[in-house]
Amino acid sequence: MCAVSLDSSRTSQRALRPPKFAQITFNLLLLATSFVILVPLIWAISSSFKGPDELYQAVPSLIPFQPTLANYEYMFEHLASFPIYMTNSFIVAFGTVFLVVLLSSLAGYAFARMEFRGRDLIFVFLILLLFVPRSGGLMALYELMAFLHLRNSLVGLILLFSAGLSTPVFIMRQTYLSMPRELEDAARIDGAGWLDVFRYVAVPLGIAGMVVVAIFTFVGVWGDFLVTLTMIDQDRWLTISVGIRKLLTTGTVSPFFAGSQFTGKFATYGTDCALLLTSALPAVVIYIALQRWFVRGLTEGILKL
């Protein structure tokens, strides 16, 4: 009987395994899809290390045979506005991440653990805001920011981006709901209040969810174009997403950057690629650095409804 059961279990396991040919075909399909998606990125990286001769040769090559840093040198030496745009982006992104993580953690814990009148109704209304595009109320936001004298201000951008809490609050609520209540009950038995329980129990256990919120917020703010373009019209307060557009398309230099030798056109499109890759590098680095926590946050309750 034992031998029969073992044979039947092995047969069932073989039946569950996909055929080898199908698995190989699936892997090849994934490899081909990944290659198609990565070709533009690979080409941009390659072009950023090419000189004019290689960029404009009759038969272009994917790999630079004479790699050079001339495009990056030109970018840092002649584009005086580029460091300003990058600095503004870092200030807005990190300021927004701090506020969003703080506020969404507090609100998420309240929705997950506290009982108060209208809690579920407020949360449902908050979730419904996920389906309202930000561009739909852009004119109202513009008038509000102008009334509060927050336009052309990094602080104004930080406050505006920090107001989009629907997704972060949902993520943090799901994170706290996945935590065992016994730990919080034990802390309350020892005399801890709501704030102490949140600080010493919920926050340490909810770090993975906070990392997910931080990454989503940073990437969203770093790459935002429409809101920043609407709220900022002075060069000195532009972020890198809007600043790149001005660097690539305008033919004049702002009086604020009058010392720049930039005339509106790069030496080669390799410098364009260098500029675009450098501007995207902070978001990529942050994701790679926090990837382990990001995956952990997605698997520890955020995706559990």
Mean pLDDT of the 48-74 span: 82
| Per-residue pLDDT, 139 | 87
Q: Of 1-10, 153-162, 241-250, which gets the smallest average pLDDT?
A: 1-10
| Per-residue pLDDT, 88 | 93
Mean pLDDT of the 260-267 span: 44
Q: How far apart are CA 220 and CA 227, in angstroms?
A: 11
**Mean pLDDT computed over every residue of the chain:** 81
User: How many Cβ atoms are within 10 Å of 7's Cβ, its own excluded?
Assistant: 10
Q: Which domains, and CATH codes, for the chain?
A: 18-68 (no CATH), 78-302 (1.10.3720.10)
- Look at 177 and 295; give whichever has higher pLDDT: 177
DSSP state letter for 190? T
Would you say how long the chain is, in residues? 305
Where do the H-state alpha helices sit in the chain? Answer: 2-16, 20-48, 52-55, 70-78, 81-113, 119-128, 138-147, 154-162, 166-177, 181-189, 194-197, 203-205, 207-222, 226-231, 240-249, 269-289, 291-297
| Per-residue pLDDT, 297 | 67
Q: Of 11-15, 81-85, 119-123, 293-297, which gets the smallest average pLDDT?
A: 11-15
Mean pLDDT of the 110-114 span: 87
Q: Name the pLDDT band for 259 (thresholds 50, 70, 90).
A: very low
| Per-residue pLDDT, 291 | 80
Spatial CA neighbour of 130 closest among 94, 167, 93: 167
| Per-residue pLDDT, 266 | 47
Whether 248 shows a pLDDT value over 80: the answer reads: no
Whether 26 shows a pLDDT value over 90: the answer reads: no
Q: Name the pLDDT band for 98 (thresholds 50, 70, 90).
A: very high
Q: Of 3-7, 38-42, 60-64, 134-138, which gets the smallest average pLDDT?
A: 3-7
- Look at 41 and 253; give whichever has higher pLDDT: 41
pLDDT digits (tens, 9 = 90+) for 177-210: 888 888 888 888 878 788 888 888 888 888 888 9
Whether 133 shows a pLDDT value over 50: the answer reads: yes
